[in-house]
Structure formats: C-alpha cells, structure tokens
Amino acid sequence: MWHSLPIEKILEEFKTDAQNGLFDVEVKKRLKDFGPNQLPEEKPISKIRLLIGQLKSPLIYILVIAGIVTLILKEYADSIIIFGVVFLNAIIGYFQESKAGQTIQALRKMIRVKAIVFRQGEEREIFQEELVPGDIILLRPGDKVPADGRLIDAWNLKLNEAVLTGEWLPSEKNTEILPKDTPLADRDNMVYMGTVVEYGRGKAVVTATGIKTEIGKIAQTLKGTKAEKTPYQKKVVHFSKVLGAIIVFLCLGILIGGLATGKEFFEIFLTAIAVAVAAIPEGLPVAVTLVFTFGMREIFKKKGLVRKLIAAETLGSTTVICTDKTGTLTEAKMQVAGIYTGTKELLSNGKRF
C-alpha cells in the first residue's frame, strides 16, 4: 500500500524525519518490537543431530541389523567389526560436515551486508540486521538493498530486481505516487530487500524488515519445502532394497532346503544368518564416505565450499551453474587495470613499472 501514499503521509505514519531519521532511543524500541532485519535461517545443527544424521542411510540400517543379530548369536568378533565400520563411517562424515558448517558460519559473519542510514541527523554505516521500519537509508551503485522501502529521492536510480521479479533489465525508479492496484514489478517508487543498485543514487524510508519484506515472504513460503534426494541417495535406496530382497530370498531358500533335507532348524537358521551377514558389504559405506571426503577436500582446495558430503557427488556431474553476478560474484565497482601515457605504461594489474 505504501506505493500509493504521498511521502509526507508515510513519514508521518512511521514517525520519522526525511533529513534526520530516527533517534537512537526509538530505534532500540522498534528493534525490540519488530526484531532484527534478517531472513529466517536454519538453526545450526547440534553435534548430536549431525552425528545421528550420518547414520541415516539404508546401508547403515542393514549393517546395524546385522550387527544386532550377530550380537544375539554371540558372534562377538563379527559384531565388533560391523559396529566398528558403522562408527568409523559416522565419525568421518561428522568431522567433514562439522568443519564445513563452521566455515560457512565464519563466511556469513564476513559477508554481512551493511547499510548507510540517517539517525539523529548523522549519516552512519550499520549492519543490515540493525535496520528498523522508519529508518532513512541511502542507496549507492553496487549496494544491495537492505530492506523494503519507499523512495523519498531518486537521482537516475536504476535497480536490478531479477531476484524478485525475474526481469533482468534494470528497473528505473522515481518518487511518483502510483495506483493502489499497481503490480509489484511495476512499483517504480519502491525498493525491495535483496535487489541491487546498478546506477544512480537514492534515498528511501524503510517500510518493512525481515520476514515482512517481499523476499522474506518468499523465504517463509519456501521454508517448508523438502529437499529432493540426490542421485546417489536414490541409487543407495534402490540398491538397499534389491540387496535386502536377495538376502531374504537366500535365507528363505536355505531354511526351506535345510528343513526339506531333515536338518535341525537351529543349525539351518545359523547357516542362513551367516550367509546374510556375509552378503552385506560392510566396507561399502566407509569406502563411499572416504570417496566423498576426498572429493570435498578437492573442492576446498579450489576455494569451494560443500556443506554435506553427498553434495560432492552431485557437484561432480554439474556442467552449468546459474547464479546472480552483481553483489554476489562481483561488487559492481570499477578497478584500474592499467595506466598508459604517450611514451610508457605506468601501471598494469596493480603493478608499477
């Protein structure tokens, strides 16, 4: 609705001033009322959950069942080997994913978005999460818009709003009042969190922060979606089902055949269990985990970051990556590559001659 109201009315609604902004006392109060200006994030996985997560595999389930059966039959040597394999597999996966998680948290702290805000008549640089509704923000080329806002001033301002609208062409901004039913993509007097300033400058009053922003609403909608299984996970599930079926049929065949020939049930049962345990590839989970670990380390060496081991397998077959460039891969800032005079080259790639 803010796009259809005069700027004076909006400033009055938020009890703020276009020149001086909010007072610190009011900022603290609003920060308490509205919460930090950040999108919902997944809570860091606890160490226990991370460790248990390494056991969520059909192959591991089969190994655990085999280990319990051998333990009941007092085949302690086999039990120790099987549970040892399960433990080793869990530990390797746990340490690799734990290390990746710590690196991601460190990166998040390093790349925190900052915003230029007017408070108590002063221009300040603050972290994005400290913004509150009613703050007056300044937008410059290369800036990522830190919150939703209504433009107060716009000087040749153009924004890339592809993250929100899908339109790759820059959107020209102004401060004109628009009709109430204007679609989101055509609200040229508004700026939205996550979009990027490509050209010009602007000044806006913050109208929404955090999950109340347009991008925040999308994030909330996507929060409940389940991640699709990777090709590896699908193959493991299929392999485990086939392996389980083969083992069951083998055991039934041995039991029926043994009983038909007049052998004792307990003796045939032990034989069937022995065959079942022998048919289970105890070393496969560890071997696969080690392969993924080496793959993850190779990605680390090339300055890549993988949160989960199984993602390494999917990345191995990736040919095209679609990503935002400005503000993500680049900063939209010009850099001097070389200086040339009429007689000689003075600077090239940052090196002086």
Q: Which residues are catalytic?
A: 324
Q: What distances in angstroms separate CA 231 from CA 57, 148, 292, 311, one per listed residue? A: 14, 39, 14, 10
Residue 309 and residue 97 in contact, taking contact as beta carbons nearer than 8 Å: yes
Residue 210 and residue 35 in contact, taking contact as beta carbons nearer than 8 Å: yes
Going by the DSSP 8-state scheme, the letter that residue 206 receives in this structure is E
Nearest to 189 by CA among 246, 133, 150: 150
Token pair listed for 228 = 């699709």
Helix (H) or strand (E) holding 338: strand 338-340
Cα angle 48-67-94, degrees, rounded to a multiple of 5: 25
Query: Which residue carries 């109208």 as its tokens?
Result: 207
DSSP assignment of 308-324 equals SHHHHHHHTT-------
